[in-house]
Amino acid sequence: MIDPGCRVLVVKRFAAAGRGDGTNRGGALAAGHRVTIYEVAERAQVSISTVSNVLNKPDRVSPATRERVLAVVDELGFVPKVQAVSLARQGTGRIGVMAPFTSYGSYLRRLSGLLTVATELEIDVVVFDHESAALASSPVLASMPVHGRLDGLIVMGLRIEDAIADRLRERRLPTVAVDADSALFSRVVIDDRGGGRLAGEHLRDRGHRRVGYVLERQVSDYESQAIKRLAGFREVVAGAGGEVSVTHSDNSVDAARRAAADLLDRADRPTAVMAHHDALAVGVLLAARDRGLRVPQDVAVMGFDDGEMATAADLTTVRQPFEESGSTALSVLLGHLGGFDLRSTTVLDVRLVERSTT
């Protein structure tokens, strides 16, 4: 079981290529002086316990204090004492994977694909859960590169904020982003705009011009998968002279059911509704049933992902290769651990799966 409190679970053993002696991490260490936690606390004007919490229990510290302490950690090149001993070794023997596992079953499928390869290669994988892809980056991710406990990191579906990305790079922690943009790290992605266009073309070709869209609500302001997917969808529908009405939903079937009511109760009810992912599409199906609407005769419904929920609901959807994205990300990361430093972008294919709801 994956603990939603950002704890770790070692699921298989890792024998990784070494990363060097690590003595060039941080200017103070390179100069022969090991910075102490007391110096960090004094410079940041906080207590020693606060510094400890920032590094080990970051959710207990306010964002402003956390950022101030981490800035001092970066400035001084601080390495916790236990981890400093391991810097001369050939690596810690593990990689980390962070994703919103408990919020989206799709990331468990990505993890499954990764673990299939990890098992064959006898790799240790440490799993970190983050609440939601719609929220800002995790405080655990912010402090992770300081510890030196990992040889490499895979971040799935989460935006890596600029300050955190810089820290990962400066601390020389090889990192791969999955389903997220990054100017610094290798990526494994799908073409979300293309996936949105594929869904739009399917509905357009069936004559739909008045279309609804259930978009997952996001807190942080960035061009997420959801925004890209909607943009591609809108491009096709608008190009055919149609119009897309968007409603926002939290990440649950019940929330999507309520959000879809806003669309389906309109006098100019859409003839089709697209949802950002399959669980939200199931909420649309329930809202249609609540109103006695026939699917697809009165309203067509589409999702995105093609998980078990889509199969159970006989839902038309766009399939993305979850297991392949996980295994590919691990292969890319192992390439970096083996000395391949060039940033790469791997784009995986999506395809339409037509079922009874359209």
Residue-wise pLDDT for 204-261, tens only, equals 999 999 999 999 987 666 678 899 999 999 999 999 999 999 999 999 999 999 999 9
Taken as a whole, the chain contains a residue count of 358
**Residue 284 to residues 133, 205, 250, Cα–Cα distance (Å):** 21, 21, 13
CA angle 34, 142, 101 (to 5 degrees): 135
Three-state DSSP class for residue 134: coil
pLDDT the model gives residue 351: 95
The larger pLDDT score, comparing residue 137 to residue 256, is at 256
Name the pLDDT band for 144 (thresholds 50, 70, 90): low
Out of 43-52, 93-102, 135-144, the most confident range is 93-102
Q: How many CB atoms lie within 10 A of CB 206?
A: 12
Note whether 140 and 29 are within 8 A (CB): no
Q: Alpha carbon 279 to chain centroid distance? A: 17
pLDDT at 263 over 90: yes
Residue 68: the pLDDT is 87
Nearest to 200 by CA among 135, 244, 159, 151: 244
C-alpha distance from residue 346 to each of 122, 176, 326, 343 (Å):
24, 11, 12, 10
Number of Cβ atoms within 10 Å of the Cβ of 319: 16
Give the CB-side neighbour count of residue 218, counting CA atoms within 13 A: 18
Sign of CA dihedral 228, 347, 314, 2: negative
- Residue 27 token pair: 């200017």
Residues contacting residue 204 through CB under 8 Å, at least 6 positions apart? 236, 237, 240, 242
**1-32: pLDDT as tens digits:** 444 444 445 444 333 333 333 333 444 444 45
- Calpha distance 286→253 (Å, rounded): 9
Instruction: Give residues with Cβ within 8 angstroms of 271, minimum separation 6.
Output: 207, 208, 209, 210, 211, 299, 300
172: left (phi over 0), alpha (psi -120 to 50) or beta: left
pLDDT score, position 117: 83
Among 91-100, 125-134, 158-167, 282-291, the minimum mean pLDDT is found in: 125-134
The whole-model pTM stands at 0.74
What pLDDT does 200 receive?
Answer: 98
Residue type, 202: H
Residue 19 has what pLDDT?
A: 35
**Structural tokens at position 221:** 């302001």
Strand partners, 129: 99
Q: What is the mean pLDDT of the chain?
A: 83
pLDDT tens string 179-211 = 988 889 999 999 999 999 999 999 999 999 999
Sign of CA dihedral 346, 19, 123, 6: negative
Instruction: Say what the pLDDT of residue 118 is.
Output: 84
Instruction: With a cut of 70, say whether residue 292 has pLDDT above it.
Output: yes
Question: Could you give phi then psi for residue 247, rounded to 5 degrees?
Answer: -125, 150
Instruction: Assess whether pLDDT exceeds 50 at residue 37.
Output: yes
pLDDT over threshold 50, residue 307: yes
Report the share of the chain in percent with pLDDT over 90: 49
**H or E element in which residue 127 lies:** strand 124-129
CA angle 42, 49, 99 (to 5 degrees): 110
Could you tell me which residue, 176 or 63, shows the higher pLDDT? 176
Q: Using N-to-C axis directions, what is the helix angle for 48-56 and 139-147, rounded to 10°?
A: 100
pLDDT value of residue 2: 42
Say which residue, 254 or 87, is predicted with more confidence. 254
